Structure 1
Amino acid sequence: MQSEVVNRQIQRLSGLRFMWLTFPKDLEERFEQETLKRRSRRLWLEGLIAILLFDLFLIADYYGSPDRFRRAFVLRLLVVTPICLLVNASVLRQPKRIFRESSIAIGACLAGLCQLYLEFDRSRVASAYVQMTVLAVVLFVNTVMRLRMPYALATTVTMLCGDVVFLWRDRMLEPGDKIFGLGLVLGVMAITLVGNYGSCREERLNYLLHLRGELLVADLNRLNAQLLRRSESDALTGLANRRSFDTQYRELWKNSLQTGTALSVVVVDVDHFKRLNDRYGHLYGDEVLKRIGSLLQQALRVKDDYAARFGGEEFVILLPRTPESAAMMVAERLRRMVELAGFPALDPSQGPYDMSIRATVSCGVACAYPTLRDKPEQLLDAADRALYQAKAQGRNMVVGAAPTSESSRTLI
């Protein structure tokens, strides 16, 4: 769903038609959150430069109008600069958009109107050049700092009003000069607003393209993970399949070899499964295997315990860092759970249960402390021999592997 929203917004912003630069609520919040840190640091740095340039105008005030220098000093350094520095410092705290953008707009307007006040009725040259100050403020806010469009528009209108009042009350310029200055200001304001709109639009479009790429990668990773799970899972029981088991077994063997800890294996086989299939059919046999697989997962102790379908009606459990006594307990718990659970529900058309066929399992258990001279196959062979012994002794039981002369050192 989010990908669809992003694609619609990309299509909307890719056209040439003018539109309000805003996203749907959730996407707008994400855009603001993910661009907040970088934008705040940029605005802080640019604001610091602007404050420094504003204060450097004291040099021009000193040489241009020494008699008004004291007033300029007080306004610049003792009034406007502390306010702007406070605003600039607050930006580093990454405030919400409305406070961040509006406070910067107010600071810029304060600096621009202060310059208009200082140059008012000073001289013809000062009245002409102060128009450049208005343009500088608008250029800086709209194209350098690139305030969000509503705040850039508000700043521009405020400076325009201040300039109109200045020109209306100014006695130094001729009417023609005032009209020329106002026309120049209006033209530059319009151009910078168009530039601000284009910059904000490109910023949002680039963000959307980047976000779409991230979403595509996330979707691809999710699909790959699903394919991987499917390739490593048994479709019938949901347990890991033989391929996944082989990989996990090699990894656990290697870990046990490195740490010197025990690794136990429990091989589980469904008793009389062929007779059960012949009597009730293969579909019912599949239901039995599903139930065994579910019970097997419930019999595990911790997340590191691992269960897989070994093939046919045979299952296997890997128990890392587990001695034989604990592995025997896990196997016995599984055997009892299967015995108590019994058969899955039988379709009435299949007739009554054959009481000579019971839903039970036999388990073979083997444990090893691997060494470099041991082979992983030895542990599985030992568990398999124990399973056959359980079958030979009457089924529905757990048998531990008996050490042989060849494996007594590592197999318990």
Structure 2
Amino acid sequence: MNKLALKLEPIERATARLRNKPASGLRFEPELEAIFDVSTRYRHARRRLWLGWTILFMYDLLILSDFRHLHSNFRFALAVRLLVTLWLAFSSTLHFHARRVVRELNVVSIAIAIVCSNLILYRNLSPVLSSVSQVNTLVALLMIVVLAQLRFPYAVFATATLFAMQLWSIHATHIMTVPQAIFTIRPIVVGELFILLAGFSMEREERLSFLSALRVDLQREKLVALNRELALLSSQDSLSGLANRASFDSRFEDLWNQAVETSKPLSVVLFDIDHFKNVNDTQGHLYGDEVIRRVSQLLVQSLRGKEDFAARYGGEEFVILLPDTSHAVALKVAQRIRRMVELAGSPAFNDDEHVPNAFTTLSGGVATYPGVGIEHRDELLREADVALYAAKDAGRNRIHSAALQWSEASRRSVRPRR
């Protein structure tokens, strides 16, 4: 479940309720409870797995006591121990993937199996052994509630069930007097209540720790998302939505270094919106802003893939970086963009008949590394700029190329500096 989709409000409500009104219940709201269950399931499963095998070993040691005290019924006791042992071994596999109700009831069943077997086997031997079997109930309850961290509603159910079994065992036995039964059951009841209170406190603290950790994780994730958004905003031109000049400079440096190291071509295309000052003067600055946004959208649509990079260079100028792109291909890309802007670059015109309309067109200049006189990325950009103004001087709405490209022999023999 995505934690970013979770808000801080339910976390704060649950924290305040657990701290101020714990008697109202430990369970969270459904969405938060689901996250809590997923977050704690594996840790609880590992704990219960190791505890289960420890309990199994300790339970099987009781066979030695059976051999000493149950001479005539030892085979029956051995059969009972074997059945309970098989159940303990099987139940240890249910902790990792089962639903919560299955996992919790499985722990309860382990306690019931252990206590029931001891009460049945030792209930009519002697008051001392019967009292010991009653005390073993406390041990079993302590293990499942405190060590296995049984969820509190199931802990209440287990305590009530085990207490009912104790009352039945005392009622069914004929070797205890009433004072002996009261003397035996009284400390057990007190112990069970304290175990329940300990289980409640442990689960409450576990849930509070979970809420605290979840709050920290949520705030950290939201902070990362905000920082990512701020980084995007700091590298993005607010009007056009394209990368800004600072972002272009960083990307240009990376692509230039990559081109120098790999000897692969890098093309730069500079565009300028024709007669943009006249557009602002006649149509208004709002219309001019709309022209810039429309041209920016067309530039993005014309990029060939995620490696191509478009940025607003300043004012009405735009720049496109085309890594691993030859001069001929860069000219085709530039011509495609010019034609798209010529066809679709003009927003709706002003309805005022006295204000002349102007169609949006682009002039562009293309330069490619390696090229004549290009030994630094600034020179590559300057060559594209020279070609751009040559296009504007030639009548605008056209693409011009920079100086002739190097021959293949020259490209292999000269390695420019960065």
Task: Work out whether 1:298 is the aligned partner of 2:301.
Answer: yes
The 1:212–1:21 alpha-carbon spacing in structure 2 relative to 1, beyond 3 Å, is same
The structure-2 alpha-carbon separation of the partners of 1:115 and 1:351, relative to structure 1 and needing over 3 Å to count, comes to farther
Q: Which residue of 1 aligns with 2:24?
A: 19
Match for residue 393 of structure 2?
392
**Equivalent residue runs for 1:156-167 within 5 Å:** 156-167=159-170
Report the counterpart of residue 378 of structure 1 in structure 2. 379
Give per-residue Cα distances to partners, 1:18-77, cap 9 Å, x unaligned: 122211111111111122222211111111111111111112222233333222211112
**Cα displacement (A) at 1:369:** 4.8
Percent of aligned positions that are identical = 37
Q: Quote the residue 2:402 is aligned against.
A: 401
How many residue pairs end up in the alignment? 405
Alpha-carbon distance in 1 for matches of 2:368, 2:233: 30
Q: Deviations over 1:307-348 (max 9, x none)?
A: 100001100011122222222121111100110014211332
Question: Is the CA contact 1:88–1:104 (under 8 Å) kept in the aligned structure 2?
Answer: no
Tell me the SS of whatever aligns to 2:25.
Answer: coil
The yes-or-no answer on 1:87 pairing with 2:91 is yes
1:234 deviates by: 0.7
SS at match of 2:73: helix
1-structure distance, mates of 2:14, 2:353: 59
* Candidates 68, 75, 79, aligned match of 2:80: 75
Matched with 2:199 is 196
The CA distance in 2 between the partners of 1:241 and 1:350, in whole Å, is 36
Residue segments in structure 1 that go unaligned for 5+ positions in a row: none
- CA gap of 1:405–1:72, structure 2 versus 1, over 3 A, is closer
Q: Distance in 2 between matches of 1:131 and 1:348?
A: 96
**In 2 relative to 1, CA 73–272 (structure 1 residues): closer, same or farther, beyond 3 Å?**
same
Equivalence for 2:282: 279
Classify the secondary structure of the residue corresponding to 1:394. coil
Asked if structure 2 preserves the Cα contact closer than 8 Å seen for 1:128 and 1:173, the reply is no
How far off its partner does 1:282 sit?
2.2
| 1:113-132 correspondence to structure 2 within 5 Å | 113-132=116-135
Superposition map of 1:1-400 within 5 A: 2-77=7-82, 79-92=83-96, 94-349=97-352, 351-354=354-357, 357-369=358-370, 374-400=375-401
Q: Distance in 1 between matches of 2:222 and 2:173?
A: 64
Matches of 1:16 and 1:82 in 2, distance apart? 42
Deviations 1:199-253 (A, max 9, x none): 1111111111111001101111111112111111111111110011111111222
- Judging changes above 3 Å, is the alpha-carbon distance between structure 1 residues 271 and 30 closer, same or farther for their aligned structure 2 residues? same
Deviations, residues 85-138 of structure 1 (Å, cap 9, x unaligned): 11111224x211011111121122111111111111112221121121111111
Question: TM-score, normalising length from structure 1?
Answer: 0.93
Matches of 2:69 and 2:345, distance apart in 1: 102
Amino acid at match of 1:383: A
Kept after mapping to 2: 8 A contact 1:280/1:350:
no
DSSP 3-state at the match of 2:312: strand
- 1:404/1:168 Cα in 2 relative to 1: closer, same or farther (>3 Å)? closer
Gaps of 5+ in 2: 1-5
Displacement after TM superposition at 1:146 (Å): 1.4
Instruction: Give 1:16 shift.
Output: 4.8
Structure 1 residues 116 and 258: CA distance shift in structure 2, 3 A: farther
In structure 2, the CA distance between the partners of 1:379 and 1:277, relative to structure 1 (3 Å rule), is same
Question: Match for 1:289: what amino acid?
Answer: I
Aligned equivalents of 1:215 and 1:369: distance in 2?
49
1:256-313 deviation digits (Å, cap 9, x = unpaired): 3333322211111111112222222222221111111111111111122111000011
Please identify, of 124-133 and 332-341, the stretch whose mean Cα deviation from structure 2 is larger: 124-133
CA distance in 1 between counterparts of 2:209 and 2:10 reads 15
State how far apart, in whole Å, the 1-side matches of 2:327 and 2:129 are. Answer: 96
TM superposition score normalised by structure 2: 0.92
